[in-house]
Amino acid sequence: MARRVLEKRLALYAGEDVLWARTSGGYRHVVRLSSGQEKACQAVYEGLLRDFGPFLVRGADEELVPALLGRLREEKLTLVTAESCTGGLVAKLLTDVPGSSDVVWGAFVTYSNDAKTRLLGVSADTLRRFGAVSRETVLAMAAGALAASGARAAVAVSGVAGPGGGSAEKPVGSVWTGARLSSGEHVERFFRFPPPRERVRELSAWAALFLLEGLVLRGDEALDIVLPLDYI
């Protein structure tokens, strides 16, 4: 979320009873609360959770990837990634966790349109009509990854990481992510992240994982962000 929005909410909920400090921690903003009253800190947390939801606000030091892998295990879902602009970063974040091999089937890094067609079965017509950075393409990438791997869950990313390659319609930072289950449920979302290239790629990878978590846990209830935002 935009820093100024977060800070306005913190100021509103903290009042004079709670001190807060915000630092950037990788893909998220870390907010530390301090007060002589535990209930006052809890009220701030509950206010942020109510405003922004569980996919943007996490208590304590809960890490997304280990929790997501655990939920996939519970649902007996194997996972495959289909990545373009992130170049395998989503798979790296997942496999950085020891023991992830029982959940992660593997990854397709389909950087070119030709690779998307040959490896994932994305039709040339889809790419011509909608472009590589589109809802239709990430939906096809996820479906193709499921078909090629036999996995039961897939997450796909395609975007313009920069510094070049943008257009008036799809400027640098434009990213589509998608998640799909073998049962047919799927969700796709558009994001616009701020440059530079490294930041776009990093936020795109995390956004894809948040989107997948939302699909696994609550169906189509997931992030819907169209501005250059960061996560807590």
pLDDT value of residue 96:
97
Lowest mean pLDDT among 40-49, 115-124, 197-206: 40-49
Q: What is the pLDDT of residue 15?
A: 87
What pLDDT score does 57 carry?
77
The pLDDT value recorded for residue 214 is: 86
Share of the chain above pLDDT 90, in %: 62
Q: Is the per-residue pLDDT at 142 higher than 80?
A: yes
Phi, psi (deg, nearest 5) at residue 75: -90, 0
Mean pLDDT for the stretch of residues 3-15:
85
Beta-sheet pairing, 153-159 with 174-181 = antiparallel
- Name the band, by pLDDT with cuts 50, 70 and 90, for residue 114: very high
* Whole-Å CA distances, 191 to 135, 159, 176, 224: 11, 9, 6, 8
Q: What is the pLDDT of residue 37?
A: 84
Q: What is the pLDDT of residues 184-222, one digit of tens each?
A: 999 999 999 989 999 999 999 999 998 998 898 765 444
d(CA 113, CA 123): 9
Give pTM, 2 decimals.
0.80
Q: In whole angstroms, how far apart are CA 40 and each of 15, 17, 37, 98, 141?
A: 9, 7, 5, 37, 46
Mean pLDDT of 77-92: 98
Domains defined for the chain, CATH in brackets: 3-52 (no CATH), 64-218 (3.90.950.20)
Q: What is the DSSP letter of 193?
A: P
- Quick check: 122 pLDDT over 70? yes
| Residues across the chain | 232
